[in-house]
Structure 1
Amino acid sequence: MLYKVLIEPFVFMGEAPDLLVQTLWEGLVSGVLYALIALGFVLIFKASGVFNFAQGIMVVFAALTLIGLYEKGIPAFLALLLTAGVMLVLAMAVERLVLRPLVNQPDIILFMATFGLTYLLIGLGELIFGGSPKEMITGALYLPQGTTEVTVLGGPVRLQHLDIAAAVIASAMIAVLAVFFSKTRIGRALRAVADSHKAALSVGISLNQIWVIVWFAAGLVALVAGIMWGARSGVSFSLQIIALKALPVLILGGFTSIPGAIVGGLIVGMGEKIGEFYWGPLVGGGIDTWLAYVIALLFLLYRPQGLFGERIIERI
């Protein structure tokens, strides 16, 4: 039994390196998309210190809004712009109706408010769009279809064109947001807000404006993630469970680190694919549903601040 668990999978990797490359590629695509979703959590956490439980349903709501507008006869790219506008309105509504009245309240109050926002968006989505699964408008958005087969290490590796597009688009968006929030005036204001709300207010930084910008950025992240995940697996309310896979990503990378979200996403994405393909048959499959949380648990035990998080030392 020890041989099957500790040795045989690695022997299989050496005997069929092309299958290892195929597995790593599929894990890389999933990891980049996980990182994109995690980025939405990171931005809101940096601005308010609150884990936004509603980020998962925001992914679903944005995707459903896009599909719903397209089904009403609106051209795909105009529907895309209008959906971005809807996410802006949502950001302004959250700031005005949720964050502003609860400013300076304990973090647990704001966290529970995001629970309420989650179920509000679920109910609103079901009321407007219905509860049945929908197909992403892949063709109308000119997302590529088909497969390219390349020879790697003596064997065929199949690359889905949609996966390539998803990896490129998600990576580009992560890079743009990382540069925007690290190099611009708004990015500096965000870091000031993350350090201290009171200090930020004292130098004239508007918390309300920062919160709107950050929630809108998280909404755009949710929109792109919803399009890519929806194109791969359809759009339904169960998609929010996939979005919450970003939680172990955040634990691995650190709740306040954009590079951590990227690295954590890649670790989770490739780790669960390798685990499912090579160790899944030993336990009957399904490793990809729980492996990320086991890895996160180990990090919580031995490095709770994550790979890139700041170690907090309290002196008594």
Structure 2
Amino acid sequence: MDLLYRILVDPFVQMAGMPDFFLQVIWEGFVAGVLYSLIALGFVLIFKASGVFNFAQGIMVVFAALTLVGLHALGLPAYVALILTIAVMGVLAVAVERVIFRHLVNQPDIILLMATIGLTYFLIGLGEFVFGGNPKVMITAQLGLPTGSTAIDVLGGLVILQHIDIAAAVIAIIMVATLGVFFNKTRIGRALRAVADDHQAALSVGISLEQIWVIVWFAAGIVALATGIMWGARSDVSFALEIVAFKALPVLILGGFTSIPGAIVGGLIIGIGEKIGEIYWGPLVGGGIESWLAYVIALIFLLFRPQGLFGERIIERV
């Protein structure tokens, strides 16, 4: 009973007595959740528009960030390098459609998943060949992103806010709002949903799969670039970021694979839950809880609400 009290109750007693520390933990979890959500947005975009779980989204984040840093290292101004990186992600979107998905229309989902796994390892090899395997420093200041920090008083406790973290939150909000309007209010957005529902039916009404897939992969590439910049600003740009990107999987399970708001809510639940778990429960179980707690939360959701918080329940009638 004493052990159960220490695990479940004592942390909240500590929180009540340390408002500044607790609020700082909440803020750090909020920022981590926003960054997880940005990664999850790329997965949601492609799954919502094509029904494909894009295993390569994580390496796309790394590849976009490495391209940006690599072009700047060649002597190009930061914003020129940014524009060229966007163009590179556009070329990648066209190449993915022409080389891979054009030949896999109406194939089973497992075939499409395996294609994205193959794309992942191709991009890893290409990235290591072109940029090398050493970590790179993100060009945060050159891009005009804010640096430094601000301490604010919240409920009698000081919380330190990193300016780059605030920028990440603002960018995430703008992206979610833009994508929400794009999917729900535009003709192309409705066409994207039609393609996801049925490739053959979409073709029969004149929707071009080629154009739709290029658009959605390019949009996912832009999201990957924004995510890579924000993650790279908080740490070095390296292939280790791909491992972090897999945290998007429990985020998707919580929010639902087709829900853009769900990606944000799921990311915040995972981010804040991880930080609270690591700080307050981690010492009781030997630490390292941040590496597996997200997957435990996702498992619980799979047991009781497999479609996620915002996902649609699928009912098949026979």
1:171-250 aligned within 5 A: 171-250=173-252
1:1-316 aligned within 5 A: 1-316=3-318
Q: Say if 1:63 and 1:226, in contact at 8 Å, map to a contact too.
A: yes
Whichever residue aligns with residue 188 of structure 2, its letter is I
Structure 1 ranges of 4+ moved more than 2 A? none
Alpha-carbon separation, structure 2, partners of 1:169 and 1:47: 22
1:104-160 per-position Cα deviation (integer Å, ceiling 9, x unaligned): 111101100111100000000000000001110111111111111112122211111
Alpha-carbon separation, structure 2, partners of 1:154 and 1:262: 29
Alpha-carbon separation, structure 2, partners of 1:185 and 1:17: 48
Alpha-carbon separation, structure 2, partners of 1:233 and 1:58: 17
Q: Say if 1:32 and 1:171, in contact at 8 Å, map to a contact too.
A: no
RMSD across aligned C-alpha pairs, in angstroms?
A: 1.0
Alpha-carbon separation, structure 2, partners of 1:74 and 1:173: 27
Give 1:252 deviation, angstroms: 0.6
Q: Say if 2:100 and 2:115, in contact at 8 Å, map to a contact too.
A: yes
- Secondary structure class of the residue paired with 1:159: strand
1:255-288 per-position Cα deviation (integer Å, ceiling 9, x unaligned): 1111111111111111111111111111222211
* TM-score, normalising length: structure 2: 0.97
- Secondary structure class of the residue paired with 1:126: helix
- Secondary structure class of the residue paired with 1:131: coil
1:164-220 per-position Cα deviation (integer Å, ceiling 9, x unaligned): 111112221222122122211111111211222222222211111110000000000
Whichever residue aligns with residue 34 of structure 2, its letter is V
Q: Say if 1:40 and 1:222, in contact at 8 Å, map to a contact too.
A: yes
Percent sequence identity is 76
Alpha-carbon separation, structure 2, partners of 1:175 and 1:276: 31
1:77-116 per-position Cα deviation (integer Å, ceiling 9, x unaligned): 0100100000000000000100011111111011001111
Q: Say if 2:106 and 2:200, in contact at 8 Å, map to a contact too.
A: no
Give 1:25 deviation, angstroms: 1.0
- Secondary structure class of the residue paired with 1:315: coil
Whichever residue aligns with residue 281 of structure 1, its letter is P
Give 1:314 deviation, angstroms: 2.1
Deviates further, 174-183 or 237-246: 174-183
Whichever residue aligns with residue 142 of structure 1, its letter is G
Deviates further, 284-293 or 244-253: 284-293
Alpha-carbon separation, structure 1, partners of 2:164 and 2:47: 31
- Secondary structure class of the residue paired with 1:151: strand
Whichever residue aligns with residue 64 of structure 1, its letter is L
Give 1:40 deviation, angstroms: 0.7
- Secondary structure class of the residue paired with 2:140: coil
Whichever residue aligns with residue 311 of structure 2, its letter is G
Long gaps (5+) in structure 2 = none
Alpha-carbon separation, structure 1, partners of 2:73 and 2:271: 33
Long gaps (5+) in structure 1 = none
Alpha-carbon separation, structure 2, partners of 1:135 and 1:271: 29
Alpha-carbon separation, structure 2, partners of 1:122 and 1:48: 23
- Secondary structure class of the residue paired with 2:9: helix
Whichever residue aligns with residue 240 of structure 1, its letter is E
Alpha-carbon separation, structure 1, partners of 2:159 and 2:184: 37
Aligned pairs, number: 316
